[in-house]
Structure 1
């Protein structure tokens, strides 16, 4: 009788992000009220001509009276390393992401978090052309898809026309 040996390699791939909860910078309480978090507001020009940067402003607001922190992974507060935006054209077709995709393990190191002081706004910009192939003479809608990773709640979507 032939003896079969099964070798089962143990491969652990951890697709990890930061905690989905926004953390209070001065405590680790996990019971947060819905209104007790950071929120995101996008900004972009209505009409952008080809050849110009397609700069999306990403502003994180802390309206609370205590410091809050969020994971900068999947935000423009770090170099472009993941698909954290959904961009669709006027027909609802998703624009393919062509940028880098980082895989990370838990727990995120301390330097992965940014602190937002009470009543403060942190902002950053990302050029959408660095990771998305936009076509001229189309209207696009942009939304944030990584609230569960960064802990930032998106409050709006933006639209713009990319034209000659």
Structure 2
């Protein structure tokens, strides 16, 4: 049994050490079809991709709660990211934490899709060199924001998309 455990450990170490390398020992290119099922959080940031969120400081009850999500590419070449768990797809996963000022989490009311792994090539979006892509979504379609309060939004979809949003954002949902 001890020999089997040692052999299993050695096989796992060998397999993991060869992930992401090609025959000459260099890192594979960033081709959307070759992306892993989940992307290491720092890997896309190292390649020049990062994201930012923005929202109006004050939104009146009855108005749309529009969140703008922008992905930037600072690299010298086009880069790809998985659009799953980002606003670039409809609300079919919970990729944001929305909390009231008292720390109460706002309920997510969107769908929760089961996914085929690894993501197919069509699940990736390209961002040209030194360019950005943006999308705006109404948070009321995916989150149960009903009472006036100050809310903080944190992006939590980085394990699937690989995108990092360093800062959370806040807005006041105010009576008219």
**TM tier relative to shorter chain:** 0.7 to 0.9
Q: Secondary structure of the residue that 2:46 maps to in structure 1?
A: coil
1:125: how far off? 1.1
Which residue, out of 18, 23, 30, partners 1:24?
30
Secondary structure, counterpart of 1:148 in structure 2? helix
**Unmatched runs of 5 consecutive residues or more in structure 1:** 1-22
| 2:127 aligned to which of 106, 116, 124 | 116
What is aligned with 1:90?
A: 101
- Structural RMSD (CA): 2.3
> Partners of 2:118 and 2:35 in 1: how far apart?
17
Is 1:130–2:141 an aligned residue pair? yes
Cα distance change of structure 1 residues 108 and 48 upon mapping to structure 2, 3 Å threshold? same
Residue aligning to 1:156: 167
Measured after TM superposition, the shift of residue 51 of structure 1 is: 1.0
For this pair of structures, how many residues does the alignment match? Answer: 142
State the TM-score, normalized to the length of structure 2.
0.74
Determine if contact 1:67/1:116 at 8 Å carries over to the other structure: yes
> Compared with structure 1, are the counterparts of its residues 120 and 25 closer, same or farther at alpha carbon in structure 2 (3 Å cutoff)?
farther
* Cα pair distance change 1:101/1:28, threshold 3 Å: closer
The aligned residue for residue 5 of structure 1 is none
Q: What is the TM-score with the length of structure 1 in the denominator? A: 0.79
How far off its partner does 1:44 sit? 0.1
**Partner residue in 2 for 1:143:** 154
**Structure 2: gaps spanning 5 or more residues:** 1-28
The list of structure 1 runs, each at least 4 consecutive aligned residues, that deviate by more than 2 angstroms after superposition, is: 23-37
CA contact (8 A) 2:33 2:120 kept: no
Aligned counterparts of 1:27 and 1:99: Cα–Cα separation in 2: 28
CA distance in 2, matches of 1:104, 1:29: 15
Please say if 1:60 is aligned against 2:71.
yes
